[in-house]
Structure 1
Amino acid sequence: MSVSLVSAVLCCGAATFLLLNWRRRRTVQRKMKEAKWRREHTIEKMEKAARKFKEQNPGHQPSSILSFTLPQLLGKLRDGSLSPESVFYTYMDKALDVTRELNCVTDYLDDSESQLLHMKSQGKKGLLFGVPISIKDSIDCKGHDSTLGLVKRLQKPATVDAVVVQVLKQQGAIPFVKTNVCQSLMNYDCSNLIFGQTVHPVDHTKTPGGSSGGEGALIKNGGSILGIGTDVAGSIRIPAAFCGICGFKTTGNRISKRGIVPSICGQKSVSVGVGPMARDVDGLVLCLRALLCDKMFQLDPTVAPLPFSEEVYSSSQTLRIGYYTTDSFTMPSPSMKRAVLETKHLLEKAGHVLVPFKPLKIEHFMTTIVPAGLFADGGATFLESFQGEPVDPNLKELLLLAKLPGWLRRLLSWISRAISPRLSKVLRSMKEKSVNQLWKFHTEIEEYCHEFIAKWKRLRLDVMLCPALGPAFKIGFPGKLSVGASYTVLYNVLDCPAGVVPVTTVTEKDEDDLKTLRGHYNDMWDRTFVKAVEGAIGLPVAVQCVALPWQDELCLRFMKEVEKLSREKERNC
């Protein structure tokens, strides 16, 4: 073959590659443009419907409806003093106001209006009769995309509602909007290149957290009274803590996950939890009562058929509570530590017994077990989501680590050993495993869980009080601090029910103390953490409440106790 022919073939190949790449980019840009147009169209549809209702009901008083707690709202819907229409259109109008400010709603579930009309002819009133409810993007709603912030998932509407959505509807709730997430769900910020950045309800330079960040922002500013999220490493608890609302992750198999799109398909090392997000614990409890019903057990026989235990939740027995202020891996901010200690003091005054606890082997857990579990295939499944996909800047660091070939990861691990031992161990753990290695790894996880729970049992603990990550990070920082999820991902691997309750806000003293804070390692991650949380005076801070697997009602009972004592303290100040 002549040199000129080889050159011609190479040129043609290069031209074809460039053309295909150009066409792919054009297709991606077109799909993103169409998605943004569809969202604008659905927002306009919501505006039109809300405006029409207000015109037809000039005496309507939305402020009183928005001020009701969920139990109060349900009471008025049941006795007929409020109509489902008045509640529905009030929350629709408020959701519009909130999303104009915070960018949290991504889609309008327009069949909600049909459901509203159908309710008039229904005699039966479910446990959530007439309650508008917001749904995280990754949870399937028939006729709508579950994008995960990925262009490739656009224009692929779900053919059936997720089981959790079907049960909510059967209980009389009205799912009416879907909310924003971070791209791929593998970050605790809340941005993607389709729908943009969702911002914090109080400080727009901060993130609302993620991946259920759209839910957290919408509920905090009153655009929803109840929402459903998912949690693989804190994706309910972190945005709830950042925004100052309550969030609860159930034991992994307590609520059906059928119809919920995971971040990494097939990953089993870190348990995914589903759960509610609400203004208060009462809202969480009402939602769990409604979901844990025969309808869900029939639709998904793989879910444990355990109805809500009123006996456990309503118990008033004294609790024996383990507690810690740091996991000795991610340094707690001054407000995180103070929140735990102040809550400990309140619980002791109320007669509960508090027992110091030190989590087991957290450095090994965070640098070996978690990255080795999430990336047991070397990151191949995670990377599949990004083939031909534009990447959100907040994910670029994680994506870069996942893309590194094994030999380069090993080299970088060796180079960084002296500078950042934690990063070195993480890089070494993100390697592809053989089936034999994966089975041994799963055995290691089981042994870790048994050892952790054995220590819990030796101390005769009922529940655990520990820090919730906070205050809210500056936008962009979660992508630099994946390790910040150490306080939450622990209880995904252990498969414990866990929730967060806001108990305080950042003070000037907290901010001053932050200036001299040194972490457990004083490495780049510790220094980045200080930058992430600074400038947060007045932002909410939560504590995390945990129980052993399948003790969801006990965890909620503990959360209710923490909420009650914190509110009493606030009233008396």
Structure 2
Amino acid sequence: MRPAPRSPPALLCCCSAGLLLLLLLRWRRWKGFWKKVEAARQRQEEGLDRMEKAVRSFREQHPSVNMVSILSLSLPELSRKLRDGSLPPEHVFYAYLGKALQITRETNCITEYMQESETQLQQARPPGKPGLLYGVPVSIKDSINCQGHDSTLGFVKNINQPMAEDSVLVQVLKRQGAIPFVKTNVPQSLISFDCKNLIFGQTFNPLLYTRTPGGSSGGEGALIGGGGSILGFGTDVGGSLRFPAAFCGICALKPTGNRLSKKGIISGIRGQKSVVAAVGPMAKDVESLALCMRALLCEDMFSLDSTVPPLPFNEEVYSSTQPLRIGYYETDFFTMPSPAMRRAVRETKKLLEDAGHTLVPFAPPKIDYVVDELFTRGIFSDGAAHLVDCFKGDIVDPNLKSQFNTYRLPALVKRILAIILKPIYPRIARDLSALCGVGSAKNLWDQHAAVAVYRTEFIAKWRKQRLDVILCPALGPAFNHGYAGKLFAATSYTNLYNVLNFPAGVVPVSTVTRADEEELKHYRGHYGDPWDKRLKEAVEGAVGLPVAVQCVALPWQEELCLRLMKEVETLSRGTRRNV
């Protein structure tokens, strides 16, 4: 006999029970999610409390130590005093620990205090000649592995996943006598030039709290820009070192991709090879970056990671005083520079010419093609599938919502939207098309070949104009909060040099003036599309904030890049505008 059919009330009861069970499971899942967040924030706060107690204890025992004078020293001066014994490492460590605590209370830039740094400090008695960074406290970006500490990338699922060993970079720093003492905040996934996630929250610009410090190395930018660290390390796959440096008024160097080891450093998009990521230093001045590169380009770096070419720092190139032949451009004709950006390049060009260098107009070829087909289609060759997968089990940070929602659209929907938008907003349409990815292994190889062809074409143009280096804009001033996630296209000035894999650095040269702000009122951009409108809104109200320029050299010529940066810094130091 056939079983009697269930009555509607019975079916309703079963459905209700199933729905209730589903809601209960979901509630338990999110309860566990926020419990992990709460625990991470509690650990962060406990670390800051330990910092406060340690600093207070030191000051009580050493009331005569002049912390202000220590914090005023440049890294080369500090290093010299530490190595010759005229300044005890304890004095330096606790001076920076106290300042770092102050800056993070103001900007929320530190995610973890590495308490073992106090033990390392006590053991910092070198048996022989001390390393170049002996006794120097250094800060480390969240995504750079440190033994016993999380590398969260802003994802809740990565909480309580301590790393088994230090990255090669951190190992070399320690062998050079440096003391890693804090880890710093990042945006969720790192694929953003803001600095906010659901675990640790928003990091603020130390120069103006209504502004972002940039990203993804934003915690580093805020801490160093506020004076709470003298040397820090971040990563860069589209500008993630250079944005925070430009926004926070400090210097940064993105080296050639493999000049410094990336072993033990976690990428936001693992495995992609079209756009080259790099790890590099951030500091208040160029000489500090040079000292750092001298220290890191050593036998320890080359032996711990055999994929790093054994190229020691070339002092002769960095110290040369021969006039340079410098290519320059004020706009890439993809992202219209803000008035302050354009003025910064123009004024720096004049200073360099007056100093005896030759300045040559240079136009980077096919920037729209680079941004869409080489950078965007390259970094999202899989149609952003890997990045979307990274968010599974996590809540998307509100700052990334518009970005993320675009990534996860089906390829067919992206293509249809691109066709619809092409007559009205061609730049946005091209970007949507590029986000579809390459579609096959053959197409990926074609894409890699296209990058190589473009690099050859770019270098040929460089050689034809007999250039040594290039001077160009750096994005700025610092954006108002909430705009970075809506303006991925604004990375064009920096992502070009990740596609090319050229070393590039930024140097602050000026500040936004009232005249810049007045000129901004007439800003229309190159395309007159929503992205241009947002860029104008993003940089409004920035009088007094720093503006930087970008300096670029050919692959493996970090020393030449630093040499131009040093020249720019020296020449512009006496001409910084007061508002």
Superposition TM-score, scaled by structure 1 size: 0.98
User: How many pairs were matched up?
Assistant: 573
Counterpart of 2:167 (choices 162, 170, 173) is: 162
Query: Does residue 406 of the first structure (1) align with residue 406 of the second (2)?
Result: no
Structure 1: gaps of 5 or more residues: none
In the alignment, what sits opposite 1:201?
206
Counterpart of 1:430 (choices 432, 435, 446) is: 435
- What is the alpha-carbon distance in structure 1 between the residues aligned to residue 32 and residue 463 of structure 2? 56
Query: Does residue 440 of the first structure (1) align with residue 446 of the second (2)?
Result: yes
Please say which of residues 149-158 and 72-81 is displaced more in the overlay. 72-81
SS for the counterpart of 2:123 is helix
Aligned in 2, Cα 1:557/1:3: closer, same or farther, shift over 3 Å?
farther
- What is the alpha-carbon distance in structure 2 between the residues aligned to residue 476 and residue 565 of structure 1? 35
In the alignment, what sits opposite 2:124?
119
- What is the alpha-carbon distance in structure 2 between the residues aligned to residue 557 and residue 23 of structure 1? 57
Report Cα offsets for 1:481-526 as digits up to 9, x if no partner.
0011100000001000000000000000000000011211111111
1:551 Cα deviation from its structure 2 partner:
0.8
In the alignment, what sits opposite 1:361?
366
Report Cα offsets for 1:287-329 as digits up to 9, x if no partner.
1011110001111001111111111111111111000000000
1:412 Cα deviation from its structure 2 partner:
1.2
Letter of the 2:486 partner, please give it: K
SS for the counterpart of 1:175 is strand
In the alignment, what sits opposite 1:172?
177
Query: Does residue 507 of the first structure (1) align with residue 513 of the second (2)?
Result: yes
SS for the counterpart of 1:107 is strand
- What is the alpha-carbon distance in structure 1 between the residues aligned to residue 140 and residue 526 of structure 2? 38
- Tell me if the contact between 2:513 and 2:577 (Cα under 8 Å) persists in the aligned partners: no
Letter of the 2:112 partner, please give it: D
1:124 Cα deviation from its structure 2 partner:
3.4
1:416 Cα deviation from its structure 2 partner:
1.5
In the alignment, what sits opposite 2:39?
34
In the alignment, what sits opposite 1:556?
562
Please say which of residues 418-427 and 342-351 is displaced more in the overlay. 418-427
Aligned in 2, Cα 1:3/1:357: closer, same or farther, shift over 3 Å?
farther
Letter of the 1:492 partner, please give it: N
Report Cα offsets for 1:247-270 as digits up to 9, x if no partner.
000000100001101010101111
1:554 Cα deviation from its structure 2 partner:
0.6
Letter of the 1:42 partner, please give it: G
Report Cα offsets for 1:147-174 as digits up to 9, x if no partner.
1111011000011001000000000000
In the alignment, what sits opposite 1:17?
22
SS for the counterpart of 2:253 is strand
Query: Does residue 525 of the first structure (1) align with residue 531 of the second (2)?
Result: yes
Counterpart of 1:55 (choices 52, 60, 81) is: 60
- Tell me if the contact between 2:511 and 2:576 (Cα under 8 Å) persists in the aligned partners: no
SS for the counterpart of 2:482 is coil
Pairs within 5 Å for 1:381-420: 381-420=386-425
Aligned in 2, Cα 1:276/1:340: closer, same or farther, shift over 3 Å?
same
- Tell me if the contact between 1:200 and 1:206 (Cα under 8 Å) persists in the aligned partners: yes
Counterpart of 1:307 (choices 308, 312, 323) is: 312
- What is the alpha-carbon distance in structure 2 between the residues aligned to residue 60 and residue 173 of structure 1? 21
Pairs within 5 Å for 1:208-287: 208-287=213-292
In the alignment, what sits opposite 2:100?
95
Query: Does residue 547 of the first structure (1) align with residue 558 of the second (2)?
Result: no
- Tell me if the contact between 2:415 and 2:436 (Cα under 8 Å) persists in the aligned partners: no
- Tell me if the contact between 1:410 and 1:427 (Cα under 8 Å) persists in the aligned partners: yes
- Tell me if the contact between 2:374 and 2:499 (Cα under 8 Å) persists in the aligned partners: no
Query: Does residue 481 of the first structure (1) align with residue 487 of the second (2)?
Result: yes
Report Cα offsets for 1:368-394 as digits up to 9, x if no partner.
222211111111110111102111111
Identity of aligned residues (%): 59
Structure 2: gaps of 5 or more residues: none
Counterpart of 1:567 (choices 551, 573, 576) is: 573
Report Cα offsets for 1:432-475 as digits up to 9, x if no partner.
42111111111111111111111111111110000000000001
- What is the alpha-carbon distance in structure 2 between the residues aligned to residue 110 and residue 352 of structure 1? 48
In the alignment, what sits opposite 2:380?
375
SS for the counterpart of 1:119 is coil
Aligned in 2, Cα 1:571/1:426: closer, same or farther, shift over 3 Å?
closer
In the alignment, what sits opposite 1:449?
455
1:194 Cα deviation from its structure 2 partner:
0.7
Aligned in 2, Cα 1:67/1:525: closer, same or farther, shift over 3 Å?
same
- Tell me if the contact between 1:226 and 1:277 (Cα under 8 Å) persists in the aligned partners: yes
1:127 Cα deviation from its structure 2 partner:
0.7
SS for the counterpart of 1:519 is coil
- Tell me if the contact between 2:255 and 2:502 (Cα under 8 Å) persists in the aligned partners: yes
- Tell me if the contact between 2:133 and 2:177 (Cα under 8 Å) persists in the aligned partners: yes
In the alignment, what sits opposite 1:337?
342
Aligned in 2, Cα 1:332/1:33: closer, same or farther, shift over 3 Å?
same
- Tell me if the contact between 1:128 and 1:168 (Cα under 8 Å) persists in the aligned partners: yes
Aligned in 2, Cα 1:294/1:540: closer, same or farther, shift over 3 Å?
same
SS for the counterpart of 1:544 is strand
Letter of the 2:447 partner, please give it: F
Letter of the 1:278 partner, please give it: A
- What is the alpha-carbon distance in structure 1 between the residues aligned to residue 204 and residue 329 of structure 2? 31
SS for the counterpart of 1:276 is strand
1:418 Cα deviation from its structure 2 partner:
2.3
Letter of the 1:173 partner, please give it: A
1:16 Cα deviation from its structure 2 partner:
3.8
- What is the alpha-carbon distance in structure 2 between the residues aligned to residue 373 and residue 10 of structure 1? 46
SS for the counterpart of 1:183 is coil
In the alignment, what sits opposite 1:324?
329
- What is the alpha-carbon distance in structure 2 between the residues aligned to residue 363 and residue 216 of structure 1? 29
1:17 Cα deviation from its structure 2 partner:
3.1
1:94 Cα deviation from its structure 2 partner:
0.5
1:570 Cα deviation from its structure 2 partner:
4.5
In the alignment, what sits opposite 1:149?
154
SS for the counterpart of 1:228 is strand
- Tell me if the contact between 1:24 and 1:388 (Cα under 8 Å) persists in the aligned partners: no
- What is the alpha-carbon distance in structure 2 between the residues aligned to residue 496 and residue 262 of structure 1? 19
Query: Does residue 297 of the first structure (1) align with residue 284 of the second (2)?
Result: no
Please say which of residues 334-343 and 15-24 is displaced more in the overlay. 15-24
In the alignment, what sits opposite 2:71?
66
1:367 Cα deviation from its structure 2 partner:
2.3
